[in-house]
A and B are shown apart, each in its own frame.
Chain A
Amino acid sequence: MSDKFSRRDFLKLAGVGAATTAILTGCGPASRYVKREPYMLMPEYNYNGQSTYYATTCRECAAGCGLVVRTSQGRAIKTEGNANNPLNLGKTCARGQATLHGLYNPDRVTDPIKRTRGAAAGTTVAWDDAIQTVADALKNNKPEEIAFLMGTTSDHLFDLLTDLSAQAGINAPVRFGALSMFEARATLSKAAENLFGEAGMPFFDVGGAQVVISFGANFLETWLSPVPYTRGFAGLREGQTKKRGTFIQFEARMSSTAAKADEWLPIRPGTEALVALAIGRLASELRGGPLPRVFAEVDTAAAADAAGVKLTALEHIAEIFAASAGVLAIPGGSALGQSNGLAVAEAVLALNAVADNFGKAGGVFFSGLAPSQTEYQRPASAMEMQDFIQNMTDGKYKVLFVHGVNPVFELPASSGFKAALKGVEQVISFASFPDETALEADFVFPDHHALESWGYQRVVTGSAQPVLSGSQPVVSPFYNTRATVDVLIAAAQLAGGKFAEAMPFKDEVEFLRSKVAPLMSEADGFFSAADLNTFMAYFQQYGGWWKTTDGRTAPNAADVFNRELDASEAEFAGEGEFFFVPFVSPTLAEAGANKPWLQELPDPTTTVMWNTWVEINPETAHELGLEDDDVVKIISEAGELEVPVYRYPAIRPDTIAMPFGQGHTAYGQYAAGRGSNPADLLGQHFNEAGDLAFAGMKVKIEKTGKKQPLSRMESIMGVYGVGLGEEH
């Protein structure tokens, strides 16, 4: 460059030229040209350029919400809720919307593969060989050496495996999911059994209540069935026929559910049972009459002291409680995931006895059994999973089939599942994505994506009516995948003997028809038909079958007041000074991390995206000399991990919290190597119902001196003086 025309000027001119060209070309029609693939053969029911809609069922979690998927030219374009389905009445959560990102995910397993455990790649095999492999696994092992581990979705596969286990003697399928672990489902049903003499899934009628008091239940996020609970919450607030309902949440951190509450009381973790009993006692005293025995033992002042709240605060809530009709108390989430979780659940359920709301609008019910279900079945608790893992380690299982669950990621590392896989000779995964468990398998025989699949899902809770949500393929399978039910039917027939006798079906659809057919003779159906073909056509058209009657039952509350509860505080494992509260990310949950829409969706309370963070109270952070984005090491008795700090004012100073959902080491390009998994810090401690005491750990924090900026939606300008200059 000459001394008169500097390098900078040249760059400026070149920049202007480049920008002009970019604008001129970018605005032309060429920028909009895309390739279109028309149908090769147009189906009869379709027209050119016209959308077709199919009803099916969401499999992003086990709730069983109905979907209606818009398709155009054979591609799924948009998922929406099925307005006919009584569970979700046309709505979905963010995960339901993002199910398309699973369908079109670039990391899907496209062919059946044989692989070396732990290696990244495998070799493609033909489906005939794959089916032969499954048939050999069934035939060449003793029935008790064959184990199935399933997720909480795909109830039709569960039914098939149950039939297979009953008739061929193999182990009954075991179901597990991280969501049910964090929801503490085993604790809920055990508490119901202890109080009401009957195991089942309680149903909390939030929509009909006037006051809702929740102990850790994050029912607006992921708990049990978030869509109907969110609708219930709208009913509580709407006040069309009554005044606006009140919502009070007890939780050590402000979850996005607690953020919706009128009053949020950050009580000390482990004191939930004490606080529930104290409120019960205060409310009973205000209401007059004899003091129920269940509340008689508690010292209210000592309870308030232990919980770190003023007694007047508890008295205030007791006043609301005593003065209102329609009070509902809900136990859930981290309150139950502690050593005394069962006592917490019982104490909170007992509060409902003071309100006398059992079996009444706005109260506690038992969820009705779904159609074709004879008894309540819950997924395995973490303690039951320990037995399963022990059997694997001991070599009792020669072959393990895994479908719809990713236990290497979803179970805490301390459970030893990954190491226990070494004790199993042959691991066959049916995963649709290359997840952590599929990487440790010998074979991956990919199932179709949910939108390419047949099936049904029983609705466990959330709807007053008993619902069986039906699935049907909304698009043809994109890849060389095959329905697991089809694979098992073909393999069983190839294996012969008892297996073939148990599976006399042509394919998955025939099996499905055999399971749906008995509904034709049931009363009170939303529809019925005289012949099976018509019935199945309706079943597909409406997306399932449900009754028009209320299936809920009233719990027998006769003995609730006379029960004695051990209300001692929870015990915490570990040496550290901070209570550790892992919570399920409302957007990612256990299997959402490979969907960019969900990664990009800001967390409702912190607005952080694409990463994991640890929430620390600003005061605590100040004492420790920590600022936002400082990476800290968190150490528990089970492990340690590094994670950036998010200063969160709405958490107790003695508590830290981390979202569960990231920290995948595999599971595709959007999930792998991103964030960290709080389950790595969890030790093997259980409550009396066998659920993991995931909120029962104490941890230490160490500074690392590193910084990792978190991407977040919110502006931090002005918060803690950021960006305001020295004087602030």
Chain B
Amino acid sequence: MIKRLFDWLKQPLGLIAVGIAVLALFSAGVYGIYTTQQPPEQPIQFPHQTHVAFGIQCLYCHPGAARGPAAGIPTQAKCWGCHNQIQKTMTSELLKPLKEAVISGTPIEWVPVAQVPDFVQFNHRAHIAAGQNCENCHGDMSRVTIAQNPQVFNMGWCLTCHTKIAGEDQAKLIKLSDCGTCHY
């Protein structure tokens, strides 16, 4: 049966069929990968670059990064602390979702994009304490609107940086490349 299939495929018509099938599979694969790389829809088209341009520090809105595992998403009370003094907030179409959420008292449902799988125990605090800057991993936020992931947060990427930082220090290398450092 399989032999007959191969015989048929060797004919000109068969070769064309194979070509079409390969192209179809390739395009499906490309499309599949493309869909996974799209940033999710956010409730507010939050412009990071504007906020960075005003000189607001990352840790002002994401203070958890210095204190614990998660950087956290700011409360709308924190947004409102500045925005209620900004005239544009009341008129801007883009800021309408924020205004409505604050007035109606409903939480804003953000979708964080910098995610690692559940079996990775990532802790921001250790990285900040080691002198890493936010942009080392999250990219230059003065150039993006809605947060996007500039990196693929996979293990190879983590380890590349860990080994580079350890350098010749063997004790440090062992600590930074131990499985239990991130998987426990």
Interface residues, chain A, with chain B CB atoms under 8 Å away: 4-6, 9, 13, 17, 20-21, 24-25, 27-42, 47-50
Evaluate contact between A48 and B33: CB separation under 8 angstroms: no
Report if A17-B67 is in contact (Cβ < 8 Å); known contacts: A5-B5, A35-B111, A42-B75. Answer: no
Evaluate contact between A42 and B35: CB separation under 8 angstroms: no
Report if A33-B76 is in contact (Cβ < 8 Å); known contacts: A47-B68, A49-B67. Answer: no
* Shortest beta-carbon contacts, A-B, top 4: A28-B36, A48-B72, A49-B64, A49-B70
Evaluate contact between B8 and A4: CB separation under 8 angstroms: yes
Specify which chain A residues have a CB less than 8 angstroms from the CB of B71 in the assembled complex.
48-49
Known contacts A24-B32, A48-B62, then 6 further A-B pairs from the complex at CB < 8 Å, ordered by chain A residue? A24-B29, A38-B74, A41-B77, A42-B77, A47-B63, A49-B71
User: What's the least CB distance linking B56 to chain A, in Å?
Assistant: 15
Q: How long is the Cα–Cα vector from A31 to B40 in the complex, in angstroms?
A: 11
Evaluate contact between A48 and B63: CB separation under 8 angstroms: yes
Closest residue of chain B to A50 (Cβ to Cβ) is B68
Evaluate contact between B70 and A48: CB separation under 8 angstroms: yes
Evaluate contact between B75 and A41: CB separation under 8 angstroms: yes
Evaluate contact between A25 and B8: CB separation under 8 angstroms: no
Closest residue of chain A to B65 (Cβ to Cβ) is A49
Evaluate contact between B69 and A49: CB separation under 8 angstroms: yes
Q: Mark B33-62, 1 if CB is under 8 A from A, else 0.
A: 101111010000000000000000000001
Evaluate contact between B110 and A38: CB separation under 8 angstroms: yes
- Answer yes or no: B105 CB below 8 A from chain A CBs: yes
Say which residue of A13, A34, A35, A39 sits within 8 Å of B75 (CB atoms): A39
- Answer yes or no: B108 CB below 8 A from chain A CBs: yes
Specify which chain A residues have a CB less than 8 angstroms from the CB of B110 in the assembled complex.
35-38
Specify which chain A residues have a CB less than 8 angstroms from the CB of B62 in the assembled complex.
48
Q: How long is the Cα–Cα vector from A27 to B37 in the complex, in angstroms?
A: 10
Evaluate contact between A27 and B36: CB separation under 8 angstroms: yes
Q: How long is the Cα–Cα vector from A40 to B75 in the complex, in angstroms?
A: 5
Closest residue of chain A to B70 (Cβ to Cβ) is A49
Q: How long is the Cα–Cα vector from A57 to B8 in the complex, in angstroms?
A: 73
User: What's the least CB distance linking B70 to chain A, in Å?
Assistant: 3
Closest residue of chain B to A22 (Cβ to Cβ) is B32
User: What's the least CB distance linking B27 to chain A, in Å?
Assistant: 11
- Answer yes or no: B78 CB below 8 A from chain A CBs: yes
User: What's the least CB distance linking A36 to chain B, in Å?
Assistant: 5
Closest residue of chain B to A13 (Cβ to Cβ) is B21
How many interface residues does chain B have, given as a range?
35 or more
Specify which chain A residues have a CB less than 8 angstroms from the CB of B65 in the assembled complex.
49
8 contacts between A and B (CB under 8 A): A17-B28, A21-B28, A21-B29, A33-B112, A33-B113, A38-B110, A49-B64, A50-B64
Q: How long is the Cα–Cα vector from A6 to B1 in the complex, in angstroms?
A: 9
Q: How long is the Cα–Cα vector from A24 to B105 in the complex, in angstroms?
A: 40
Q: How long is the Cα–Cα vector from A29 to B117 in the complex, in angstroms?
A: 9
Evaluate contact between A25 and B36: CB separation under 8 angstroms: yes
Report if A37-B108 is in contact (Cβ < 8 Å); known contacts: A5-B5, A48-B63. Answer: yes
Evaluate contact between A31 and B36: CB separation under 8 angstroms: yes
- Answer yes or no: B15 CB below 8 A from chain A CBs: no
- Answer yes or no: B168 CB below 8 A from chain A CBs: no
Q: Mark B1-24, 1 if CB is under 8 A from A, else 0.
A: 100110010000000000001000
Evaluate contact between B117 and A32: CB separation under 8 angstroms: yes
Specify which chain B residues have a CB less than 8 angstroms from the CB of A25 in the assembled complex.
32-33, 35-36
- Answer yes or no: B142 CB below 8 A from chain A CBs: no
User: What's the least CB distance linking B26 to chain A, in Å?
Assistant: 10
User: What's the least CB distance linking A117 to chain B, in Å?
Assistant: 37
Specify which chain B residues have a CB less than 8 angstroms from the CB of A38 in the assembled complex.
72-76, 107-108, 110
Residues facing A in B68-114 (CB within 8 A) are: 68-78, 101-102, 105-113
Specify which chain A residues have a CB less than 8 angstroms from the CB of B64 in the assembled complex.
47-50
- Answer yes or no: B149 CB below 8 A from chain A CBs: yes
Q: How long is the Cα–Cα vector from A146 to B107 in the complex, in angstroms?
A: 44
Closest residue of chain B to A24 (Cβ to Cβ) is B32
Specify which chain A residues have a CB less than 8 angstroms from the CB of B36 in the assembled complex.
24-25, 27-31
Closest residue of chain A to B41 (Cβ to Cβ) is A33
Evaluate contact between B72 and A49: CB separation under 8 angstroms: yes
- Answer yes or no: B181 CB below 8 A from chain A CBs: no
- Answer yes or no: B25 CB below 8 A from chain A CBs: yes
- Answer yes or no: B121 CB below 8 A from chain A CBs: no
User: What's the least CB distance linking B4 to chain A, in Å?
Assistant: 6
Evaluate contact between A40 and B25: CB separation under 8 angstroms: no
Report if A9-B5 is in contact (Cβ < 8 Å); known contacts: A28-B33, A48-B72. Answer: yes
Specify which chain A residues have a CB less than 8 angstroms from the CB of B107 in the assembled complex.
37-40
Specify which chain A residues have a CB less than 8 angstroms from the CB of B105 in the assembled complex.
40
Specify which chain B residues have a CB less than 8 angstroms from the CB of A40 in the assembled complex.
75-77, 101-102, 105-107
- Answer yes or no: B132 CB below 8 A from chain A CBs: no
Specify which chain B residues have a CB less than 8 angstroms from the CB of A36 in the assembled complex.
73, 109-112
Specify which chain A residues have a CB less than 8 angstroms from the CB of B145 in the assembled complex.
none
Q: How long is the Cα–Cα vector from A17 to B21 in the complex, in angstroms?
A: 10
Residues facing A in B113-136 (CB within 8 A) are: 113, 115, 117, 124
Specify which chain B residues have a CB less than 8 angstroms from the CB of A28 in the assembled complex.
33, 35-37
Specify which chain B residues have a CB less than 8 angstroms from the CB of A30 in the assembled complex.
35-38, 40
Q: How long is the Cα–Cα vector from A48 to B68 in the complex, in angstroms?
A: 9
Specify which chain A residues have a CB less than 8 angstroms from the CB of B117 in the assembled complex.
32
Report if A29-B67 is in contact (Cβ < 8 Å); known contacts: A17-B28, A35-B109. Answer: no
Specify which chain B residues have a CB less than 8 angstroms from the CB of A47 in the assembled complex.
63-64, 67-68, 72
Specify which chain B residues have a CB less than 8 angstroms from the CB of A42 in the assembled complex.
75, 77-78
Specify which chain A residues have a CB less than 8 angstroms from the CB of B38 in the assembled complex.
30
Evaluate contact between B112 and A29: CB separation under 8 angstroms: no
Evaluate contact between A20 and B75: CB separation under 8 angstroms: no
Evaluate contact between B25 and A17: CB separation under 8 angstroms: yes
User: What's the least CB distance linking B79 to chain A, in Å?
Assistant: 10
Q: How long is the Cα–Cα vector from A24 to B26 in the complex, in angstroms?
A: 12
Evaluate contact between A33 and B73: CB separation under 8 angstroms: no
User: What's the least CB distance linking B120 to chain A, in Å?
Assistant: 11
Q: Which one of B72, B78, B110 has the greatest number of beta carbons of chain A within 10 Å?
A: B72
Closest residue of chain B to A32 (Cβ to Cβ) is B115
Q: How long is the Cα–Cα vector from A6 to B29 in the complex, in angstroms?
A: 25
Say which residue of A13, A21, A29, A48 sits within 8 Å of B32 (CB atoms): A21
Q: Which one of B105, B107, B111 has the greatest number of beta carbons of chain A within 10 Å?
A: B107
Q: Which one of A17, A20, A29, A50 has the greatest number of beta carbons of chain B within 10 Å?
A: A29
Specify which chain A residues have a CB less than 8 angstroms from the CB of B29 in the assembled complex.
20-21, 24
Q: How long is the Cα–Cα vector from A28 to B37 in the complex, in angstroms?
A: 7
Q: How long is the Cα–Cα vector from A32 to B21 in the complex, in angstroms?
A: 31
Q: Which one of A13, A20, A49 has the greatest number of beta carbons of chain B within 10 Å?
A: A49
Specify which chain A residues have a CB less than 8 angstroms from the CB of B106 in the assembled complex.
40
Q: How long is the Cα–Cα vector from A38 to B77 in the complex, in angstroms?
A: 10
Specify which chain A residues have a CB less than 8 angstroms from the CB of B73 in the assembled complex.
36, 38, 48
Q: How long is the Cα–Cα vector from A24 to B69 in the complex, in angstroms?
A: 29
User: What's the least CB distance linking A37 to chain B, in Å?
Assistant: 4
Say which residue of A9, A29, A48, A50 sits within 8 Å of B149 (CB atoms): A29
User: What's the least CB distance linking A633 to chain B, in Å?
Assistant: 46
User: What's the least CB distance linking B32 to chain A, in Å?
Assistant: 4
User: What's the least CB distance linking A154 to chain B, in Å?
Assistant: 31
Specify which chain A residues have a CB less than 8 angstroms from the CB of B72 in the assembled complex.
38, 47-49
Specify which chain B residues have a CB less than 8 angstroms from the CB of A5 in the assembled complex.
5, 8
Q: How long is the Cα–Cα vector from A36 to B113 in the complex, in angstroms?
A: 11
Q: How long is the Cα–Cα vector from A21 to B34 in the complex, in angstroms?
A: 11
Specify which chain A residues have a CB less than 8 angstroms from the CB of B75 in the assembled complex.
38-42
Evaluate contact between B113 and A29: CB separation under 8 angstroms: yes
